[in-house]
Structure 1
Amino acid sequence: MTGQDGPWLDSAAGRLVRPYTISNGRTRPSTAMDLLTLVMATGTTPLGYLGPEHAQALDLCEDPTTVAEIAGNLGLPAAVAKVLLSDLVDCGAVTTKPPMLHDNPTDRSLLEAVLDGLRRQL
């Protein structure tokens, strides 16, 4: 384990805490959202202790960010990230906005833009 990984990660084994532990065993978020839902911090400080993953998720929401991006940055399954984000919605720390859908989601130019973005990430 390296110093920057913290107590929950091991460089060889990966995450030492199971995802269902992070979400307190919950598998369904209280707020409906999909992978393209935009999440943004409201500036309201959550009352009470939510956990380190909640704080990390909240930090990622300073600018509008999709659920998929947050899940990827946290290294968590999307379902677990949705539960964490719904906790933050419930306490008023973040707000969600449905994705702005393109008129034609199978439009070639849109798909090429997504592919280019993914290639830049790799």
Structure 2
Amino acid sequence: MRQTGKLDYLEMPASGGSIDSVKAFYARAFSWSFTDYGAGYSAFNEGIDGGFDGSPEAIQKPLPVLYSDNLEATLATIEEAGGKIVRPIFSFPGGRRFHFTDPAGNELAVWSET
């Protein structure tokens, strides 16, 4: 069951090589399987849901993604706590999300199905 503020997804970059080579590595090394969402994104479910982002805009380090049942309220809470919104709410094929940085400069995302 998803809960607001809990780690729900891990997105990792795949722009250092082709997404096909990254998928082949994890399939061979750990028997992972993938679901492709277009040419530049491939999801996995291997203990935690996640995906590899091969787009040129991909963040070049792992991106922890938290869940929220109220995206706007969570965004406001993050700002009130001192977080900085670095990518405002936007839609993607699974719902909507935004990105923020914490006081140490770590970038995270928060997503919601609505």
Using the size of structure 1 for normalisation, the TM-score is 0.24
Greater helix share, structure number:
1
Greater strand share, structure number:
2
